[in-house]
């Protein structure tokens, strides 16, 4: 892209701020974006977002060219600073990677119990995708309505599993029990 003088823009609203096991997921791929959108995790539950840009990409953002209704909110900045204090600790990120590997391994071992339902597991850190062999929205609703698991469907027949970064082994045990119960009781809709 550099040879064509193009800008690389990345959306790390969901994958950033420790979710993938590094501060931002792009760090795992040997690339550096010119512009990066970040939100959700950066506020630790408080609504906050940011647009990060390289000096070159930010040249056009002169005074008056970009505004924000809520920009610079002191409470939002305090929340963001508190999150950065935690996420900036490499030991915390290493723990996220370890937990993600542990959960992913448990899910991979589980998949063979239901070969007609599950295909594979993917992801990094605690940003995990469970690929189904069926359209996932029905299974997502079944897990929510019958087993109290909150997940969301994504493209390519994937169910996103994005637990809190502070998940512990007891939470993983509970998740696996509920996932197992959901898989055992799920009846995919038959096309008419």
pLDDT, tens only, 12-51: 999 999 999 999 999 999 999 999 999 999 999 999 999 8
Say if residue 2's pLDDT is above 70: no
Which residues are registered as beta bridge partners of 121?
Answer: 130
In this structure, are residues 187 and 143 in contact, taking their beta carbons and an 8 Å threshold? Answer: no
Distance CA 133, CA 136 (A): 8
pLDDT confidence tier of residue 188, bands split at 50, 70 and 90 = confident
Domain match, 110 and 74 both: no
pLDDT confidence tier of residue 63, bands split at 50, 70 and 90 = confident
Domain match, 40 and 112 both: no
Asked, for residue 168, whether it belongs to a domain, the answer is yes
Per-residue confidence (pLDDT) for residue 173, from 0 to 100: 97
Domain match, 15 and 102 both: no
- Number of folded domains that form the chain: 2
Domain match, 58 and 97 both: no
Domain match, 114 and 171 both: yes
In this structure, are residues 93 and 70 in contact, taking their beta carbons and an 8 Å threshold? Answer: no
Nearest to 130 by CA among 146, 114, 145: 114
Could you tell me the pTM of the whole model?
0.87
At which of 43, 68, 87 does a domain end? 87
**How large is the average pLDDT for residues 157-169?**
95
At which of 63, 87, 111 does a domain end? 87
Say if residue 150's pLDDT is above 90: yes
Domain match, 66 and 96 both: no
In the chain, what is the greatest distance between 2 CA atoms, to the nearest angstrom? 59
**How large is the average pLDDT for residues 82-89?**
96
Per-residue confidence (pLDDT) for residue 71, from 0 to 100: 76
Domain match, 83 and 104 both: no
* Structural domain span for residue 167: 90-185
At which of 52, 87, 122 does a domain end? 87
Asked, for residue 114, whether it belongs to a domain, the answer is yes
How high is the mean pLDDT of the chain? 92
In this structure, are residues 170 and 101 in contact, taking their beta carbons and an 8 Å threshold? Answer: no
Asked, for residue 112, whether it belongs to a domain, the answer is yes
Domain match, 25 and 105 both: no
Domain match, 168 and 156 both: yes
**How large is the average pLDDT for residues 66-86?**
87
Q: What's 142's domain CATH number?
A: 3.90.1150.10
pLDDT confidence tier of residue 64, bands split at 50, 70 and 90 = confident
**How large is the average pLDDT for residues 133-141?**
94
Domain match, 48 and 132 both: no
């Amino acid at each position: 892209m550099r040879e064509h003088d193009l800008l690389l823009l990345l959306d790390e609203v969901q994958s950033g701020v420790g979710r993938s096991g590094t501060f931002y997921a792009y760090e795992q791929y040997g690339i550096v974006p010119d512009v990066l959108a970040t939100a959700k995790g950066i506020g630790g539950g408080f609504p906050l977002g940011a647009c990060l840009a390289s000096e070159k990409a930010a040249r056009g953002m002169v005074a008056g060219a970009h505004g924000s209704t809520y920009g610079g909110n002191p409470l939002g900045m305090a929340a963001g600073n508190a999150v950065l204090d935690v996420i900036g600790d490499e030991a915390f990120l290493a723990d996220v990677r370890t937990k993600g590997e542990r959960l992913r391994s448990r899910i991979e071992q589980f998949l063979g119990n239901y070969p007609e339902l599950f295909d594979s597991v993917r992801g990094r850190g605690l940003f995990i995708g469970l690929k189904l062999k069926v359209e996932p929205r029905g299974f997502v609703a079944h897990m929510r309505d019958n087993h109290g698991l909150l997940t969301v469907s994504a493209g390519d027949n994937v169910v996103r599993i994005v637990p809190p970064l502070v998940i512990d082994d007891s939470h993983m045990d509970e998740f696996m029990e509920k996932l197992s119960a959901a898989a055992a009781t799920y009846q995919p809709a038959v096309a008419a």
